[in-house]
């Protein structure tokens, strides 16, 4: 694929259920980022995978949030026991190298609605 | 106080006008990004700069490191420029993670 893809594009779930959001980065990109954009608020950093290094999880809002990146490619963001305040658009981005100054390419996002 | 502040929050312009969006930051940075987000659409990286000025088509981005300020200019604005423009600082004190401004909602009327 030409760009970053995310699935599903929309997810509606009930409070208390677990959800998994998927990100397929651009092939060959070693860095992968997850961000969240809540309604009426700006973007916030969640987690950053950098090559084979341990991920930077400093932006995860609670221990209900976790993410993994298998084989240095696809990443999954998991939210356990979802709450209404988790409703947001979850965006994934990737960049070619581990350098922080590389251009990040964003996916279309997954819109999560927790009822 | 937000570490990255943008102004104005909302901007309405007439087609053809010259537009300026401002970004001030209080953190140490290694680079600053300007992003564009269309309604219902994804985010596109417009510029990444660490000094001076960059130009792409009708868009110009400048940064003044000493004053911790960046501007995004749009010349000869067009309705298709209507979008949210987001400034994001690559903050060195946060391990080179992006810290985002709240965004500027631009509407260009024909």
Which DSSP letter does residue B16 get?
T
Residue of B86, B91, B107, B80 lying closest to B22 (CA atoms): B86
Q: How far is CA A29 from CA A25, A44, A69, A91, in A?
A: 7, 21, 12, 16
Closest Cα in chain B to A45:
B98
pLDDT grade, residue A70 (50/70/90)?
confident
pLDDT grade, residue A99 (50/70/90)?
low
pLDDT-wise least confident of A65-79, A88-102, B59-73 = A88-102
Rounded to the nearest integer, the mean pLDDT of chain B is: 93
* pLDDT tens digit sequence for B44-67: 999 999 999 999 999 999 999 999
User: Which portions of chain B are predicted below pLDDT 70?
Assistant: 1
What integer pLDDT is reported at residue B1 of this predicted model? 63
- What phi and psi values does residue A15 have, to the nearest 5 degrees? -50, 135
Which residues are CB-contacts of A19 (< 8 A; sequence separation ≥ 6)?
A: A11, A13, A78, A79, A82, A112
Which residue of A43, A93, A101 is in closest CB contact with B30?
A101
Region A93-102 average pLDDT = 81
What integer pLDDT is reported at residue A40 of this predicted model? 75
CA distance B86 to chain A (A): 9
Which DSSP letter does residue B3 get?
S
Would you say residue A107 has pLDDT above 90?
A: yes
Q: Please report the number of interchain residue pairs, chain A to chain B, with beta-carbon separation below 8 angstroms.
A: 53
CA distance B103 to chain A (A): 7
What integer pLDDT is reported at residue A100 of this predicted model? 65
Strands (E), chain B: 4-7, 10-14, 19-25, 29-37, 43-49, 52-56, 59-64, 69-74, 83-91, 97-100, 104-109
What integer pLDDT is reported at residue B51 of this predicted model? 92
What integer pLDDT is reported at residue A1 of this predicted model? 53
Residue of A33, A15, A28 lying closest to A77 (CA atoms): A33
CA distance A1 to chain B (A): 16
Disruptive mutation site among A29, A43, A94 for chain B (greatest number of B CBs within 10 Å): A43
Which residues are CB-contacts of A99 (< 8 A; sequence separation ≥ 6)?
A: none
Would you say residue A72 has pLDDT above 80?
A: no
Region A100-111 average pLDDT = 88
Interface list for B 1-60 with A (CB within 8 A): 30-31, 33, 35, 41-45, 48, 50
* pLDDT tens digit sequence for A25-59: 999 999 999 999 998 788 999 999 988 888 889 89
């Amino acid at each position: 694929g030409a760009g970053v893809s995310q699935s599903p594009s929309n997810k509606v779930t009930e409070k208390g259920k677990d959800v998994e959001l998927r990100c397929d980065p651009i092939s060959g990109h070693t860095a992968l980022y997850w961000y969240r954009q809540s309604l009426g608020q700006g973007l916030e950093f969640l987690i950053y995978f950098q090559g084979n290094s341990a991920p930077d999880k400093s932006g995860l809002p609670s221990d209900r949030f976790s993410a993994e990146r298998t084989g240095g490619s696809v990443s999954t963001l998991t939210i356990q026991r979802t709450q209404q305040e988790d409703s947001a658009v979850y965006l994934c981005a990737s960049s070619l190298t581990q350098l922080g100054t590389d251009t990040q390419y964003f996916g279309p996002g997954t819109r999560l609605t927790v009822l | 106080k937000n570490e990255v502040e943008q102004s104005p929050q909302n901007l309405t312009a007439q087609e053809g006008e010259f537009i300026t969006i401002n970004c001030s930051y209080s953190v140490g940075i290694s680079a600053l990004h300007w992003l564009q987000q269309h309604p219902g659409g994804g985010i596109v990286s417009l510029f990444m700069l660490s000094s001076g000025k960059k130009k792409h088509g009708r868009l110009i981005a400048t940064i003044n490191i000493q004053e911790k300020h960046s501007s995004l200019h749009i010349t000869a604005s067009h309705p298709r420029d209507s979008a949210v423009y987001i400034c994001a600082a690559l903050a060195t004190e946060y391990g080179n993670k992006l810290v985002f401004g709240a965004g500027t909602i631009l509407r260009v009327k024909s």
